[in-house]
Amino acid sequence: MNTDHPSDPAEPGSPREVPGAWRSWADVAPELAELLDPEGLDLVSRAAEAAARWHGGQLRPTGEPYTVHLFEALEVLAIGAGERDPQVLAAALLHDTAEDTAATIADLEAEFGPVVAEYVDWLTKPPAASKREKRTGKVAYLRRLREAPPQVIAVKLADRASNVATLDRMPLDFQRRYYAETVTYVMPLAEGAPFYGPWFAAWARRFAHLR
């Protein structure tokens, strides 16, 4: 859902404003090569290729390629939060595949192993037959994340950071709903986290007019 870069919440715990620089694999590869060993870089590279293949021509509401969001989430994890586990980074790139593409959790396990597949499974909302079912299912999904492994929570926080950074570019009614959802269900997951806690606190101050 997010578009470009935040104009604000860069202050807390980050060496640079994130998300801000990674919008394609060409942006990612040189920096990630300095952070990961060759095996880890290969896993993340394969995840980026698979995400691009599965998401295909999908666009965000802003008209950007959907993969921009995935690279933003990856940047939040690797540069903002300092994540170095290649399986967590791969899951960030693949977190929407089972929900929004033809890929299945079994496909992910076959290609990336059981750990990445498990992380993505946690991050996948159940299918819904109606708007009401979709709303209730999403709330149940967000509540369930409180029981998720910390690696899964880290990916979810990076995902949401990308999505909310430029919330003001969305319609006002959406902004209000998404702000309330983020404050109610997502920000509690960030409490005490060295990077995510301050980042979301700064973001909430920026968008406090939506309360």
Task: Find all residues with CB under 8 Å of 144, minimum gap 6, and list them.
Answer: none
In this prediction, residue 9 carries a pLDDT of 41
Q: What is the DSSP string of 176-198?
A: HHHHHHIIIIIHHHHTT-TTHHH
In the structure, what pLDDT confidence band is assigned to residue 20 with cuts at 50, 70 and 90?
A: confident
The one catalytic residue among 31, 99, 109, 168:
99
Weakest mean pLDDT among 59-63, 66-70, 139-143, 150-154: 59-63
In this prediction, residue 200 carries a pLDDT of 97
In this prediction, residue 71 carries a pLDDT of 97
Omega cis (within 30) before 19: yes
The one catalytic residue among 4, 64, 85, 100:
100
pLDDT over 90, % of the chain:
82
More confident call, 126 vs 29: 29
- CA 119 → CA 70, 114, 144, 153, 163, distances in Å? 15, 9, 13, 9, 19
Helix ranges (H only) for 13-130 are 25-35, 38-55, 67-75, 86-94, 97-100, 105-112, 114-122
Give the other-Cβ count within 10 Å of 194's Cβ.
11
Q: Give CA–CA dist 100/98, Å, rounded.
A: 6
User: Closest by alpha carbon to 40, among 28, 52, 51?
Assistant: 28
Give the other-Cβ count within 10 Å of 111's Cβ.
15
pLDDT tens-digit series, residues 137-184: 999 999 999 999 999 999 999 999 999 998 998 999 999 999 999 999
- Please say whether the beta carbons of 99 and 81 come within 8 A: no
In this prediction, residue 61 carries a pLDDT of 78
pLDDT higher than threshold 80 for residue 8: no
Domains and CATH numbers, the chain: 25-210 (1.10.3210.10)
Return phi, psi of residue 70, to 5°.
-65, -40
In the structure, what pLDDT confidence band is assigned to residue 15 with cuts at 50, 70 and 90?
A: low
Q: Is 100 a catalytic residue?
A: yes
The distance of Cα 34 from the centroid of its chain, to the nearest Å, equals 22
Q: Give CA–CA dist 181/139, Å, rounded.
A: 9
In this prediction, residue 161 carries a pLDDT of 97
Angle between helices 67-75 and 150-164 (to 10 degrees): 120
In this prediction, residue 127 carries a pLDDT of 87
In the structure, what pLDDT confidence band is assigned to residue 80 with cuts at 50, 70 and 90?
A: very high
Weakest mean pLDDT among 5-14, 133-142, 172-181, 182-191: 5-14
pLDDT higher than threshold 60 for residue 113: yes
Q: Give CA–CA dist 38/35, Å, rounded.
A: 10
